[in-house]
Homo-oligomer: A and B are copies of this chain.
Amino acid sequence: MSVLIVGSTALDSIKTPKAENPRLLGGSASHAAVAASFFSPVKLIGVVGEDFPKNYVDLFRRHKIDLSGLQIQPGKTFHWSGEYEVNMNNRRTLLTELGVFENFTPHLPEAHKKSQFVLLANIAPALQHHVLDQMKKPKFVVADTMDLWLNIALADLVQLLKRIDGFVLNDSEAHQLTKEDNVFAALKKIHRMGPKYVIIKKGSHGSILSSPRGFFICPAYPLHNVCDPTGAGDSFVGGMMGYLAAAKGTVDANIRRAMIYGSVVASFCCEGFGLNSTTKARRADIEKRVKELEKLTKF
């Protein structure tokens, strides 16, 4: 089955202690879509400006991503610029030029409305709602978010939680949302807000799933060299949704393994700037790291 993915499609200018890379292909939907494409056909919903480089369109096409829901609007593509500190954990935003993203209204082509697996990647909760309004009985809807929306669109986000099956956020966002310092206490509160599946992302410490079948402690793949972690969280959830859409059986039966695959795609993402390393990975490379993770966690 295919995955419908809505989110940001952007140009990222990223500075790390080691290098500077202008106008890379970025955005939550771009990372998630490429990650999901390793496992399932992907339908991308987003907006870019007339300046969006043709080679980035070609990149999406090479990944067989359906671009019929990608709007090309007069104006400039969303441009984000950020800088990482030496430890690669802390980053600061240098510049945000919304461009055509400012007035983005996601329109779903008719054929997209029946998608069974929907990923509302990180984007304003109002737009995530707008996509859901157009859907016809999706089977499994997951939303990602970021601290910005907790700060400026909390009411929209809280409403969204009642409409989705799965919610993905990082540990500091879970704390911000619930005021709970303990991650398991936070998970309990988030379930009460709606979603049956809640995943807390902890970067290099992996992630935790809380689901009807209990908790799952998902490891991160050990990386000796992190080049650029931008988009790792989007790759994780994108890979997970792609795997779930392709897998036979219930979400409950597949979600742990789906997280492992997401974790592995995220590891490739971190090894290069933007999508440079992710796009070079092959399915066999992914399977190899999944097998390694099996060995690394066995006792």
Which residues from chain A sit less than 8 Å from chain B, CB to CB?
Answer: 86-88, 181-185, 188, 202, 204-206, 208, 214-219, 222-226, 256-257, 259-260, 294-299
Asked whether, in the complex, the Cβ of A256 is within 8 Å of the Cβ of B298, the reply is: yes
Other-chain residue from B202, B223, B296 in contact with A216 (beta carbon distance below 8 A): B296
CB distance from A181 to the nearest CB of B (A): 4
Asked whether, in the complex, the Cβ of B181 is within 8 Å of the Cβ of A217, the reply is: no
Tell me the bound Cα distance from A225 to B182 in angstroms.
7
Other-chain residue from B206, B217, B224, B295 in contact with A184 (beta carbon distance below 8 A): B224
Q: Kindly list chain B residues whose C-beta atoms are within 8 Å of the C-beta of A216.
A: 296-297, 299
Q: Kindly list chain B residues whose C-beta atoms are within 8 Å of the C-beta of A259.
A: 299
Q: Kindly list chain B residues whose C-beta atoms are within 8 Å of the C-beta of A184.
A: 222-224
Number of copies: 2
Tell me the bound Cα distance from A222 to B217 in angstroms.
9
The main secondary structure of chain A at its interface with chain B is mixed
Asked whether, in the complex, the Cβ of B222 is within 8 Å of the Cβ of A219, the reply is: no
Q: Kindly list chain B residues whose C-beta atoms are within 8 Å of the C-beta of A215.
A: 222, 296
Q: Kindly list chain B residues whose C-beta atoms are within 8 Å of the C-beta of A86.
A: 181
CB distance from A86 to the nearest CB of B (A): 6
- For the complex with contacts A214-B296, A219-B297, 17 further pairs of A-B residues with Cβ separation under 8 Å are A86-B181, A88-B182, A182-B223, A183-B204, A184-B222, A184-B223, A184-B224, A185-B224, A185-B225, A206-B217, A214-B295, A215-B222, A215-B296, A217-B297, A256-B298, A294-B299, A297-B297
Tell me the bound Cα distance from A181 to B223 in angstroms.
12
Q: Kindly list chain B residues whose C-beta atoms are within 8 Å of the C-beta of A208.
A: 222
Tell me the bound Cα distance from A259 to B297 in angstroms.
12
Tell me the bound Cα distance from A296 to B206 in angstroms.
13
Q: Kindly list chain B residues whose C-beta atoms are within 8 Å of the C-beta of A256.
A: 298-299
Tell me the bound Cα distance from A256 to B296 in angstroms.
10
Minimum CB distance partner of A219 in chain B: B217
CB distance from A127 to the nearest CB of B (A): 33
Q: Kindly list chain B residues whose C-beta atoms are within 8 Å of the C-beta of A204.
A: 183
Q: Kindly list chain B residues whose C-beta atoms are within 8 Å of the C-beta of A297.
A: 216-217, 219, 297
Tell me the bound Cα distance from A161 to B77 in angstroms.
54
CB distance from A296 to the nearest CB of B (A): 5
* 6 CB < 8 A contacts A-B: A88-B182, A214-B295, A216-B297, A219-B297, A259-B299, A260-B299
